[in-house]
Amino acid sequence: MAPDTALALPNTKVASIPVDTGPYGIAGNGVYAVVAAGQSGYVDIIDLSNDQASPKRIYIGTNPSMVTISPDESTAYITNYGDNNVYIMNLTNGSFTTSTVAVGSRPIGIAVANNRVFVTNYQDDTFSYFPVGSSSVTTVRTWGGGPISIAADSNANNVYVANSGANAVNVFRYNYQVSNNYGVVTTVTTGSYPSAVLLSQDGTKLYVANAGDNSISVIDTSSNDVVDTISLSSLGGHPNALALTSDGYLMVINSPIGGITIVQTSNDQVISTFNVGSSLEQVFLSGPDAYVTDFSANRVYDLSSIVSISSTAPGAINDTNNNTSFITWSSTESGTYEVEIGGNGTKGSGTVIAGRGGSVSAGQPITTPIYASDFAGDPDGPYTIYIYVTTPALTAYASTIITLLTTPPPPATGLSATPGDGKAILEWTASASSYIGGYNVYFSTSTFGLTNTPSGFQQVAGNVSSYTVKGLTNGALYYMAVQAYDIATNESALSNITSVTPVYIPSPADLADQKGNCFIATAAYGSYDDFDVWVLRQFRDRILLKNRAGRWFVSTYYRMSPPMAHFIAAHDEVKAVVRVMLKPLVYGSMVAVYGTSAQKLILLFLSVGLIILVTMFMIRRNRYA
């Protein structure tokens, strides 16, 4: 799968906001961010309009831990690890009033879905849930140890609990073998010490951060199987928080190294890393900004996208007829810029592209060309291009991916064709390239080769392995081939060339309207509507009934065959033998009715040869009788 091409991620620290001691959980509603200062017992309220901690600092007890916001953004829910409560904070009345709901022992993870609040109770291996606006709590036992994080789908039918001590995620379903409660569907083994769970935006994947072995498990929520494991071991640190950007990139917060990893969810590949603090813990996304807590620095960092890329076209290039890609970008700040291939988001960590730097004014759109020659013979594959803008106050960047492909893809193989009514159904083994853009389908009533491809042409996008060519003439012989092309427009050699003759195949309704009998074949196949029986009727109608001898044969057959057909229909073993005996006649009938002149001539020679052999046999038999 080809990588996505445009990235505009919050990666530049634009503000460092002081908060109380030991900031951990954070969430917000676009107006305020609520920060749980775990070591002080306070919650800080940050005004997002000016990145300032408001005068409101509220004490809620020992060890406030995680924060989540209601879907209507009116309420914050905060777990308090030290006093076994969930604090409910009103974000709309200006005074941030609170109330509490008692849950299990050592609550930490929290989520809200479909007017239910879900809380993991770390010490007693349970999770609790209660309706929004109610203090009526139901507690459910988890399977494992140390439930630390929880997620629920949009309708709250499925709940996912990360058990840090069991290296597993429990999958619960409402009313699953437990009336009006949650029952365990399955337990999915993950990496070591799963510390955070996050559902994809469409709910089809569950991402699990494994702090113990520096990896991300990707679970398919339809099968509840781990379908991929993203290794972060080379990056160091321990992943303990996850967030998804609006355009579908996964942000992974690593503690204690203070780094953030960006994962491309379309192919589960790490595409960027950068460091912003000393001991990052949790993250909250608000528009183009990301707010990240730094536990040891007592800070919340506002990360934003100073540099943004609006387009990268094309996203893949070659070194011949498609050798230039154009990146269009802008900066909200004036400064100087340079362009690098590769690196890690730190200016100077990649290869500087000469002649692609200069000055930029705030809001000024710039289009920067990237040539295949800029890669200087590097191997085929995706490359991250960084655009750095330096101002007197900071250095910011945006990145995009361009794929270099200089080698044509391997051809498709094993092409075959099945005839249809005015069409041909093609099937083949797809090209082995990971970057296939689609296939060119060539067809003609004349033979052709690689250097003289015919005018008959249709194109199908995507790395598919079948296609139906329509608009063909029944009874005509067609030659067909497919040609793979990649996302950089390189074309493969042709596949093998196959041939096919489209043929009219009637529907059951058509067959029901046909008159006449085919007694023996119908008895052998068990159905008047069978395809082979239909072929024999076509031979009767189009060949035999067109001449006197044929009409005599059909008339004689109708008089003599009913008793034989009755006997055949009553004996299954005889049916099987007769079907085998009829096959050559069926194939011969197809050629006689739909074959080309050459095919009919071959059939004639074979028939004459058979007649000669039978005649010689009879003469020889009579001579020695």
Dihedral angle, C-alpha 315, 319, 324, 329, nearest 10 °: 50
Structure tokens belonging to residue 391: 């101002």
> How many structural domains compose the chain?
4
Residue 556 has pLDDT above 60, yes or no: yes
Q: What is the spatial distance between Cα 467 and Cα 477, in angstroms, rounded to a whole number?
A: 18
CA separation, residue 116 to residues 80, 94, 110 (Å): 18, 25, 11
Q: What is the mean pLDDT of residues 440-448?
A: 94
pLDDT tier, 545 (very low <50, low <70, confident <90, very high otherwise): low
Give alpha helix (H) positions in 502-542. 508-513, 519-525, 531-542
What residue type is assigned to position 236 of the chain?
G
| pLDDT recorded at residue 1 | 33
* Same-domain check for residues 231 and 319: no
Query: In terms of residue numbers, what domain contains 329?
Result: 308-404
- How high is the pLDDT of residue 264? 86
Query: Is the same domain home to 95 and 241?
Result: yes
Across 122-136, 244-258, 532-546, least confident range: 532-546
Residue 8, pLDDT score: 60
Q: What is the pLDDT of residue 513?
A: 42
- Give the residue from 453, 470, 500 where a domain finishes: 500
Write down the pLDDT at residue 6: 46
Query: Across residues 105-110, what is the average pLDDT?
Result: 97
Q: What is the mean pLDDT of residues 321-339?
A: 95
Q: What is the pLDDT of residue 514?
A: 41
Do 563 and 444 have their domain in common? no
Quick check: 542 pLDDT over 80? no
Q: What is the pLDDT of residue 119?
A: 98
Same domain membership, residue 181 and residue 32:
yes
pLDDT of 182 strictly over 90? yes
Q: In this structure, are residues 435 and 405 in contact, taking their beta carbons and an 8 Å threshold? A: yes
Q: Is 620 within a domain?
A: no
Is the same domain home to 458 and 522? Answer: no
What is the DSSP track for 531-572? HHHHHHHHHHHHTGGGSHHHHHHHHHHHHHHHHHHHHHHT-H
Band of pLDDT at residue 511, cut at 50, 70 and 90: very low
> Does residue 268 belong to any structural domain of this protein?
yes
Residue 343 belongs to domain with CATH number: 2.60.40
Q: Which of 190-204, 339-353, 503-517, 528-542 comes out lowest in average pLDDT?
A: 503-517
312 domain-assigned: yes
Q: Are 500 and 427 in contact (CB under 8 A)?
A: no
Give yes or no for residue 515 having a pLDDT over 60. no
Residues whose CB falls within 8 Å of the CB of residue 573, separated by 6 or more in sequence, listed in order:
none
Residues 394, 479, single domain; the answer is no
The pLDDT, as a whole number, for residue 76 is: 96
Mean pLDDT of the chain: 86
Contact between residue 152 and residue 160 where contact means Cβ atoms under 8 Å apart:
yes
Task: Let me know whether 182 and 56 are in one domain.
Answer: yes
- Is position 451 within any domain? yes
345 and 419 fall within a common domain: no
With respect to residue 105, please indicate whether it lies within any of the assigned structural domains.
yes
Backbone angles phi, psi at 579, to 5 degrees: -60, -40
Q: Is residue 603 situated within a structural domain?
A: no
With bands split at pLDDT 50, 70 and 90, how would you rate the model's confidence at 607? low
Question: How do residues 191-212 score in pLDDT, each as one tens digit?
Answer: 999 999 999 999 999 999 999 9
Q: Buried (b) or exposed (e) across 540-569, using 16+ Cβ within 10 A?
A: beeebeeeeeeeeebeebeeebeeebeebb
Q: Is the pLDDT of residue 3 over 50?
A: no
Read off the tokens for 284. Answer: 């909250």
Q: What is the per-residue pLDDT for 516?
A: 46
pLDDT level of residue 449 (50, 70, 90 thresholds): confident
Residues sharing a CB contact under 8 Å with residue 207, sequence separation 6 or more, in sequence order? 197, 198, 199, 200, 216, 217, 218, 219, 242, 250
CATH number of the domain within which 290 lies = 2.130.10.10
**Do 518 and 528 meet the contact criterion of CB atoms below 8 Å apart?**
yes
The answer to whether residues 241 and 196 belong to one domain is yes
Task: Name the residue among 384, 351, 375 with its Cα closest to residue 3.
Answer: 384
Q: Per the domain annotation, does 618 fall within a domain?
A: no
438 lies in the same domain as 578: no
396-405, 474-483, 498-507: least confident range: 498-507
Task: Flag whether 625 is in a domain.
Answer: no
Confidence tier at 510 by pLDDT (50, 70, 90): very low
Residues 101, 77 contacting (CB under 8 angstroms)? no
pLDDT at 93: 83
**Does residue 584 carry a pLDDT above 50?**
yes
- pLDDT digit string, tens, across residues 479-501: 999 999 999 999 999 999 999 88
Domain boundary among 305, 331, 363: 305
Structure tokens at 156: 């709250």
Q: In the chain, how long is the greatest CA-to-CA distance? A: 123
* 544 lies in the same domain as 589: yes
pLDDT band at 594 (very low <50, low <70, confident <90, very high): low
Read off the DSSP letter of residue 615.
H
Residues 335, 386, single domain; the answer is yes
What pLDDT does 186 receive?
96
Residue % of the chain over a pLDDT of 90: 58
Q: From 500, 518, 549, give the residue that closes a domain.
A: 500
* CATH code of residue 481: 2.60.40.10
Provide, rounded to the nearest whole percent, the portion of the chain with pLDDT above 70. Answer: 85
